[in-house]
Structure 1
Amino acid sequence: MASKLPIVKAKALEASKFLTKNGCAYYKQMLEQNKQYIQEPPTVEKCQHLAKQVFYTRLASIPGRYQAFWKELDDVKNLWKHRQELKIEDAGIAALFGLECFAWFCAGEIVGRGFTITGYYV
């Protein structure tokens, strides 16, 4: 690990120089491209107001998402009741979806362990 320290230090210095040279131009370009999203005047009060708007808007969307969840659940129950009529394509799609969920779970576990397969740090 100590042998990698000078390499990491050199990379950090290189990145710092790059940001010092190009950071301001990139910042100005990004602001110019996204100026339609900037609220005037850019004050702390305006930011707090927008944060409250986002919070309460998301809070207000809960009933709609709740209803959509129960509708999806009813559709799944209906499919389970009529599983004899289920086509092989639909079963394949459901199996692939389950496999994808399991794969994302496994990937999350690996990331949570620090990108190790066995759980032990090397």
Structure 2
Amino acid sequence: MALPSRLAQLQAKACEATRFAAKHGCAYQRSLVEKNKKYVVEPPTIEKCQELSKQLFYTRLASIPGRCEAFWKELDQVKQLWRNRKDLNVEHAGVAALFGIELYAWFCIGEIVGRGFTLTGYRV
């Protein structure tokens, strides 16, 4: 398929999506806010938003020691598995292999995205 026809097709789909969003977007937004009313803070002021932002930041900051502890526990488990690798069964080896493949796939996808969704690095 030629590039100009693909571009026209993509443009038509984008226009269709824009029309759909314009027609149904407000109703969707209203229903979403109504469903999640318990999370809305009244009155919605700038000061309240800044306070919530600080609460989120410091809550995340306070969770770092717990995350570090969990990381070191998992690392100790991996070390223990490595020490007893002769006792590994096929299931554990398969899970480890799938995890490695998943990491490699995410790396490859990240590289492709970083190059602007091109496989060779050259844009046409």
Moved more, 92-101 or 4-13: 4-13
Q: TM-score, normalised by structure 1?
A: 0.83
Note the residue ranges of structure 1 that are not aligned, 5 or more in a row.
Answer: none
CA 1:93 to 1:5, structure 2 compared with 1: closer, same or farther past 3 Å? closer
CA 1:87 to 1:33, structure 2 compared with 1: closer, same or farther past 3 Å? same
The amino acid of 2:69's aligned partner reads: Q
* CA RMSD of superposed structures (Å): 2.4
Q: TM-score, normalised by structure 2?
A: 0.82
Counterpart in the other structure of 1:73: 75
Note the residue ranges of structure 2 that are not aligned, 5 or more in a row.
Answer: none
- SS of equivalent to 1:105: helix
Moved more, 28-37 or 9-18: 9-18
The amino acid of 1:120's aligned partner reads: Y
The amino acid of 2:99's aligned partner reads: F
Following superposition, the deviation at residue 27 of structure 1 comes to: 2.5
**Of the candidates 15, 39, 47, which is equivalent to residue 49 of structure 2?**
47
Following superposition, the deviation at residue 33 of structure 1 comes to: 1.6
User: Is the aligned partner of 1:97 residue 2:99?
Assistant: yes
- SS of equivalent to 1:41: coil
What is the aligned-residue identity percentage?
64
Following superposition, the deviation at residue 101 of structure 1 comes to: 0.7
Following superposition, the deviation at residue 4 of structure 1 comes to: 8.2
- Work out the number of aligned pairs and report it: 122
